[in-house]
Amino acid sequence: MDSLLNILQSGEIEKNNELIYYFERLMIINDLFTSQDVTYKQLQSSGNFRFFDNNELYREISDYYNLYNRYLSIIENTNIEHNSLTEMEARLFDARDLASLYNPKPTNANTVYLRPAKKFNAINQDPFYLNYFYIKAADRNELLKSSVTWLSWLKDKSTKILLNLKQEYDLD
């Protein structure tokens, strides 16, 4: 998204036409971290957390899942709705060219869309919709950056919990 914002600011849209098409498609991929929290939910619903002798460890685990739930709430509420791009896409891009970027056999979120293999129709340089596109790209960029921050906090908390669990229960 940083690259897309730089291109849009540079005014070199024609020069980067195909790359802009590709970046636009990447904006709609909502690849977010989801926790495997079955054990936590079972402990919580069964009341088995009461068997933890170490209240600090229980608090750390609860804090982790509270942080995780806040992360999910923020991500789910700020993800770009694909429908919110439709009018802008129709004004700026050729629909056939956009559709041609879809990879029918993706192996992960990074390969759902392929980079263009041919020259695409020129992007319409409507100032209103280019501005709208820039705002959506900037929002997506901020979402991605904040996700990295939240995920680093979750990683730090989970690492501490794992170390404390190993110590508490003499695990290797």
Q: 51: which 2 tokens?
A: 């068997």
Q: 33: which 2 tokens?
A: 């971290």
Please compute the mean of the pLDDT values over residues 72-88 and round it to a whole number. 78
Which pLDDT does position 29 carry in this prediction? Answer: 84
Q: 84: which 2 tokens?
A: 């919110």
pLDDT band for position 80 (cuts 50, 70, 90): low
Residues 6+ apart with CB under 8 A from 55: none
User: Measured at the alpha carbon of residue 68, what is the angle toward residues 62 and 70, in degrees to the nearest 5?
Assistant: 105
Helix axes 55-78, 127-168, angle to 10 degrees: 170
Which pLDDT does position 75 carry in this prediction? Answer: 85
pLDDT at residue 85 is higher than 80: no
pLDDT band for position 5 (cuts 50, 70, 90): very high
Which pLDDT does position 91 carry in this prediction? Answer: 95
Alpha helices in 103-171 (DSSP H): 127-168
Give the Cα separation of 85 and 9 in Å (integer).
19
